[in-house]
Amino acid sequence: MLHHILSFLLLSTTVQGWRPWPTTTTTTTFTTTSLTHNFTSTTLNSSKKFEGSSNLVHLKYHMGPVLTTNIAIYLIWYGKWYPTQKRIIREFISSISADTAPHPSLSGWWKTVQLYTDQTGSNISRTVTLGSEKSDRFYSHGKTLTRLSIQSVIKSFVTAKTKPLPINPKSGIYLVLTAPDVYMDTFCSDICGFHYFTFPSIVGYTLPYAWVGNSEKLCPGVCAYPFAVPDYIPGLKPVKGPNNDIGVEGMISVIAHEIAELATNPLVNAWYAGPDPIAPVEIADLCEGIYGTGGGGSYTGQMMEDQDGATYNVNGIRRRYLVQWVWNHVVNYCTGPNALDQ
């Protein structure tokens, strides 16, 4: 009975991150100074997205905790991963706090997240580090997962007899990444990633966590858009990714989405819009599908291309990435470091 009750609660309240669902797209390229930008117009279906600046967005603080001390991200690699794929994601996480990356930088993107505070006025931590990692190459919970089984995966590694993951409820993020041959319940049809917190009755602790799947085999046109496009849009060409891995390129923006929301709403009682936490609209949901200036409504915004023709909008320490913007509650619109007016 307890299992069924927990299943119902988790299914009805898990905070989910969606990706754009394109129906028509046109692209115009123009050059300013030394950068070439793609202005991509994409018509989206219904989603939790608001256009640019809006006085109708009532994002509120609900007095819950946020992650104000140094954030550690603990990675759980579920399934089989190539070393190069792990390297791309590790370097992405390591770049979130790296002030050495050239403008527009991933750390510049994180500065918007840092604007959010708790009830004492303390800001989200500027420091995000890569914590301990665990690998589950043998699919210990099978290749079809649910939201509850993700919590069981986390439990197996925080209670492992050999080198368990640290128990860090106040500043830890437990990130479960599933390989391309793993299916999550409603993956591709509704979600590409989600976040929530673990139940003490399952894991033994209340820990903020997120799941993000690699969509390369199942639905790259949905969860790795615009590096892949759906079959139902004939003639639309995908853009080239900066890291030459469609599945991982798509995961990067979803990971950024979930980390930003976990930092500002780890227990689903801090920063969100909407009447209650059952279906919260969080700081990344408000900017879903926006990657640059002009984004909003049917536009993804103006992105950049490198000399090899790869599309991106932020620089990391050694790589480039495409991440969606997040909501800035100070100015009341979506912002990012690649905005043309910055």
What is the pLDDT at residue 40? Answer: 34
The per-residue pLDDT for range 85-98, each reduced to its tens digit, is 999 999 999 999 99
The per-residue pLDDT for range 76-135, each reduced to its tens digit, is 999 999 999 999 999 999 999 999 999 999 999 999 999 999 999 999 999 999 999 999
What is the pLDDT at residue 12? Answer: 45
| Residues with Cβ within 8 Å of residue 51, at least 6 apart in sequence | 296, 297
pLDDT band at 14 (very low <50, low <70, confident <90, very high): low
Residue pair 253/265 in contact by the 8 Å Cβ criterion: no
User: For residues 149 and 213, what is the distance between their CA atoms, to the nearest angstrom?
Assistant: 14
Above pLDDT 70, what percent of the chain? 82
Name the pTM for this structure.
0.86
148 pLDDT exceeds 80?
Answer: yes
Per-residue pLDDT averaged across 285-304, rounded?
86
Give the chain's mean pLDDT.
Answer: 86
The per-residue pLDDT for range 239-273, each reduced to its tens digit, is 999 999 999 999 999 999 999 999 999 999 999 99
Per-residue pLDDT averaged across 47-67, rounded?
69
The radius of gyration of the chain's CA atoms, rounded to the nearest angstrom, is 19
Which range has the top average pLDDT, 55-64, 276-285, 293-302, 303-312?
303-312
Q: How far is CA 251 from CA 12, 89, 128, 204, 261, in A?
A: 24, 9, 18, 29, 15
* More confidently predicted of 166 and 235: 166
Residue pair 137/79 in contact by the 8 Å Cβ criterion: yes
Residue pair 268/210 in contact by the 8 Å Cβ criterion: no
